[in-house]
Amino acid sequence: MTIVVRDPVFDDVDGMAKVHVESWQETYQGIMPDAVLYAPDFIERRKQLWSSFFTQSNQEKYRVAVAELDGRIVGVAMVGPSNDTDRQGERELFVLYTYKSIHGSGAGARLLETVGEPDEPLSLWVADPNPRAQAFYRKHGFTPDGSTQTDEEDGVTEIRMIR
């Protein structure tokens, strides 16, 4: 299995949206409401999100990478300016999703390394509970900082992790 991590191109939007939606469905079943995970417009909203990345202003603000296996997008990651008032001027990992079938392959680590500079302060919000993701982030130098929030879109409690 040879996974290639690379910069995305506009033709990747459908694959990026698909892995985003399907990885949520795999990971968050029982954590997020089915109404969110299986909303009829979910894939279309994610296509719009990923299409918007390709504007010049967004490409200047965000770093995005995709993982590809045999011509199919199997993972996606995105870092950008933090939205948190106490982390202004720092970067935030907004997206790191892969299919369960490639967990343990190193693709997630390579995506993280590609979008996040190793020495830059970086924060992220991760669903709680999501022990696998939290363990992955701990392995890569992140620690919970005690902050929690409830995601407005899906109602899931999240903890913030920083490095």
CATH classification at residue 58: 3.40.630.30
Structural domain includes residue 157: no
pLDDT at 1: 76
Query: What pLDDT tens digit does each residue of the chain (163 aa) get?
Result: 799 999 999 999 999 999 999 999 999 999 999 999 999 999 999 999 999 999 999 999 999 999 999 999 999 999 999 999 999 999 999 999 999 999 999 999 999 999 999 889 999 999 999 999 999 999 999 999 999 999 998 999 999 999 9
Domain region containing 24: 3-119
pLDDT at 135: 98
Strand order in the sheet with 72-81: 3-6, 63-69, 72-81, 91-98, 122-127, 157-162, 143-150
Helix, strand or coil, per DSSP, at residue 32: strand
Structural domain includes residue 136: no
Structural domain includes residue 134: no
Sequence-separated contacts (24+) of 26-31 with Cβ below 8 Å: 26/99, 26/100, 27/97, 27/100, 27/130, 27/133, 28/127, 28/154, 28/156, 31/127, 31/129, 31/130, 31/156
Domain count, the chain: 1
Pairing of strands 63-69, 3-6: antiparallel
Structural domain includes residue 53: yes
Structural domain includes residue 138: no
pLDDT at 119: 87
Q: Give strand pairing partners of 95.
A: 78
What is this structure's pTM?
0.95
Structural domain includes residue 162: no
Distance CA 69, CA 66 (A): 10
Query: Which residue from 47, 61, 60 is spatially nearest to 10, judged by alpha carbons?
Result: 47
Structural domain includes residue 126: no
Helix, strand or coil, per DSSP, at residue 161: strand
Structural domain includes residue 153: no
74, two tokens: 């199997």
